[in-house]
Structure 1
Amino acid sequence: MRKIVLACIAALLSSTLTHAQKSEVTYKSKQPYKSWVKMAPKLNDDFFKTKEAIRIGDNVLLYQQTTGGWPKNIYIPAELDEKEREEVLSEKDDVNQSTIDNTATTTEITYLSRLYNATGIEKYKKAAIKGIRYLFEAQYDNGGWPQFYPRPTGYYTHITYNDDAMINVMELLQDIANDKAPYTYLPEDIRKQAQAAVDKGIECILHTQVKQNGKLTVWCAQHDEHTLAPAKARAYELPSLSGAESDNIVLFLMNLPHPSPEIIASIEGAVNWFKQVQINGLKREYFTNDEGQKDYRMIPCQEGEACDPLWARFYTLEDNRPFFCDRDGIKRYDLSEIGHERRNGYSWYNNGGLKVFKKYEQWKKKLKN
């Protein structure tokens, strides 16, 4: 029996080493940035003990801005030549680049934290703490976070729920406050600041929730940092109620351990809105258009066909009417009325409400107990 156990352990170690050796080749080649933000959370603990993990960690340090944050849309594991390294170094003081968009900064803080835990190398700890302090500094007094900081102008200064930017930050800070791995190395003062930042963020969420005729609904993808009103971002991202960003906001609130009456009311209002605006009996149909391009359209489900409900990305603030928008900034009420590029280059429908409903049932039971 002992021989069998030893053989299993040897096989496991061999598999781990082989994986690490393959990683040394795979991670060095340049890839889309999404490969980095998807890969980083899935790396196992053993990986962080390898030379390749340290090489990537040094790249993370290289890309960290003077502000403490990181730029977005960078495939950080790529092996750089000297010229590329010099270009990265020359942009460290560019205040327009530090952001929480597209999971930038939160991804790097987590990677450095795991690397420090595995290696005990102090420079990774210092860089992670600098990144966390950047998040503290970037938070507005009203509790919101801008998409970019300290970028001074443009829609980048709005409170940003878009693509879960603010929620990603709050989830990381909540884990820090709760002394969860991989952040257990952090000092008590950081944990206290993290909890204070989360509390302020929750207040911002409550204050930005849109009301229709006195009833709580959901949130816009971005809100004005001064008035807290729904705000425009890119030309095709008009003030609206967001069926995409609001789902994870509600999930975050439902995960809070001791919800206040205000938080409970916020959740109930949002869930009722998701029920009210769900789109039934509609599905995507993919086809090749007359120009030979891959395209899709929305068609009715067949009789007897099981189709999950959908939610539009944007609804009108006044009457919850789904709308779509091209780069001309004009509202249209049928997806076929916008051009191929925006129709296929943006997510106009989603099924995020389903996870809200599932979590809500669990949350209600827990609330009663």
Structure 2
Amino acid sequence: MQVLPDQPSYTATQVREIAANVLLFQRDNGGWPKDYDMMAVLTEEQKKAVRDTHAATDTTFDNHTTHPQVDYLARAFAQLGDAAYRAACERGFDFMLAAQYAHGGFPQRWPNPKGIGARITFNDGVMIGCLTVLKAAADHAPHFAWLDDTRRQRAAAAARRGVECLLRCQTRVDGALTGWGQQHDEKSFATTAARTFELACTSPLDTTEIVRFLMTLEKPDADVVASVESAVAWLRQVKLTGIRVERIAAPEVEFVRHKTNTDVIVVKDDKAPPLWARMVEVGTNRPIFASRDGIKVYSLAEVDRERRTGSGWYVVSPRNLLDREYPKWRDAIAAGR
């Protein structure tokens, strides 16, 4: 489908219209393709183009896809009671259950995953997004109150397997647990590379997302508690201070995938709040970077401008986890809640 310039959008309150788009984009296998705006007001020509692709198998969890549609349809059905929403949600739900590996991980793409699409994927919301929806269903969340018992029980089992996979994937260095990578090998569970500029690493961003999910588990066992504690300790170890990232004006240049009139630099600033590198080298805890050539470097300045401006290389999400969320969770655990 060709996106039009200045394509209009629905507002969040137009649930029926948005849900109609979600139904329209659902593939015959129950999943959804990525990178389509479900809030766009489509022309009749665009709608026809989408209908003509219903048999495609380009379905994926990448870039926050499929699990958000399942969750939205569950909420739409709970609110409006349209049977079409329930049927489509159930098909998407079954797609998610079928896509999960027996060991609990989720591939980036399904069906017939291959290459990086077959990896256990944590970045871009893949595995934690799926597990969050499954856990909501298993826990009788209000928007899943209508779900049948069979699917609810399957969701609970899938969520348990997912947690087991998370614990299995957590990287160990000299016997000590650290964090998680962006993707992990679906057989060895080791952190692995994805796109050429996405190196095998430990990822503070994805580690933070995983820890947040683990902290939602009721009555976590000793393994989950140890996992969270170790990941938090690692995030503290790899915190970067005394620097900030600045976007500056630069001569305009057009690359294959984007155009920019800026550049990104790292400057010293003793008053800057802490940052974390997007990718941390396993074993050394050094920030690592890469251009599309896949060559590992140790500073943002060594990355070419195309990737300096085309990817985010530093994150701040661990800050709130360490300062607020984790202490609150730790206090609750200590109190036996």
Q: Is this a same-fold pair by TM over 0.5?
A: yes
CA distance in 1, matches of 2:143, 2:35: 24
**Contact 1:30–1:75 under 8 Å retained in 2:** no
Structure 1 residue aligned with 2:3:
none
Structure 1 residue aligned with 2:308:
343
- The two structures have a TM-score, normalised by structure 1, of 0.83
Please report how far the alpha carbon of residue 193 of structure 1 lies from its aligned counterpart in structure 2 after TM superposition. Answer: 1.0
Verify: 1:72 aligned to 2:34, yes or no.
yes
Q: Secondary structure, in 3 states, of the residue corresponding to 1:170?
A: helix
Please report how far the alpha carbon of residue 341 of structure 1 lies from its aligned counterpart in structure 2 after TM superposition. Answer: 1.8
Please report how far the alpha carbon of residue 110 of structure 1 lies from its aligned counterpart in structure 2 after TM superposition. Answer: 2.1
- Structure 1 residue ranges (4+ consecutive) displaced by more than 6 angstroms after TM superposition: none
**Contact 1:116–1:122 under 8 Å retained in 2:** yes
Query: Relative to structure 2, which stretch is displaced further, 112-121 or 320-329?
Result: 112-121
Q: In structure 2, which of residues 88, 113, 118 is the aligned counterpart of residue 127 of structure 1?
A: 88
CA distance in 2, matches of 1:273, 1:140: 28
1:14-93 matches, cutoff 5 A: 30=7, 43=12, 47=13, 52-93=14-55
1:284-323 matches, cutoff 5 A: 284-290=245-251, 293-302=261-270, 305=271, 307-323=272-288
CA distance in 2, matches of 1:367, 1:56: 40
- The two structures have a TM-score, normalised by structure 2, of 0.91
Specify every segment of 5 or more residues in structure 2 that has no aligned partner in the other structure, as ranges. Answer: 1-5, 254-260
CA distance in 2, matches of 1:208, 1:111: 29
Please report how far the alpha carbon of residue 82 of structure 1 lies from its aligned counterpart in structure 2 after TM superposition. Answer: 3.8
1:347-362 matches, cutoff 5 A: 347-357=312-322, 358-362=324-328
Deviations, residues 157-197 of structure 1 (Å, cap 9, x unaligned): 10000122111111111111111121111111111111111
CA distance in 1, matches of 2:110, 2:247: 40
Verify: 1:165 aligned to 2:131, yes or no.
no
Query: Relative to structure 2, which stretch is displaced further, 203-212 or 220-229?
Result: 220-229
Query: What is the letter of the counterpart of residue 266 of structure 2?
Result: M
CA distance in 2, matches of 1:291, 1:78: 30
Query: What is the letter of the counterpart of residue 243 of structure 1?
Result: P
Distance 1:291 1:68, change over 3 A: closer
CA distance in 1, matches of 2:186, 2:296: 24
Please report how far the alpha carbon of residue 323 of structure 1 lies from its aligned counterpart in structure 2 after TM superposition. Answer: 0.8
Percent identical residues: 35
CA distance in 2, matches of 1:256, 1:110: 19
| Aligned alpha-carbon RMSD (Å) | 1.8
Please report how far the alpha carbon of residue 291 of structure 1 lies from its aligned counterpart in structure 2 after TM superposition. Answer: 5.0
Deviations, residues 51-77 of structure 1 (Å, cap 9, x unaligned): x43233222111101111111110123
Query: What is the letter of the counterpart of residue 233 of structure 2?
Result: N
Distance 1:269 1:99, change over 3 A: same
Query: Relative to structure 2, which stretch is displaced further, 72-81 or 255-264?
Result: 72-81
Q: How many residues align?
A: 322
Deviations, residues 274-301 of structure 1 (Å, cap 9, x unaligned): 1111111111223212558212211111
Give the number of the structure whose residues are more often helix, by fraction: 1
Query: What is the letter of the counterpart of residue 31 of structure 2?
Result: G
Please report how far the alpha carbon of residue 144 of structure 1 lies from its aligned counterpart in structure 2 after TM superposition. Answer: 0.4
Distance 1:178 1:321, change over 3 A: same
Verify: 1:328 aligned to 2:313, yes or no.
no
CA distance in 2, matches of 1:168, 1:79: 26
Please report how far the alpha carbon of residue 208 of structure 1 lies from its aligned counterpart in structure 2 after TM superposition. Answer: 0.4
Q: Secondary structure, in 3 states, of the residue corresponding to 1:201?
A: helix
CA distance in 2, matches of 1:286, 1:152: 37
Deviations, residues 189-239 of structure 1 (Å, cap 9, x unaligned): 111111111100000000000000000000110011111111111010111
Q: In structure 1, which of residues 190, 198, 203 is the aligned counterpart of residue 151 of structure 2?
A: 190
CA distance in 1, matches of 2:161, 2:333: 23
Query: What is the letter of the counterpart of residue 64 of structure 1?
Result: Q
1:164-313 matches, cutoff 5 A: 164-290=125-251, 293-302=261-270, 305=271, 307-313=272-278
**Contact 2:134–2:156 under 8 Å retained in 1:** yes
Specify every segment of 5 or more residues in structure 1 that has no aligned partner in the other structure, as ranges. Answer: 1-28
Structure 1 residue aligned with 2:257:
none
Deviations, residues 314-339 of structure 1 (Å, cap 9, x unaligned): 01112111011100000111101112
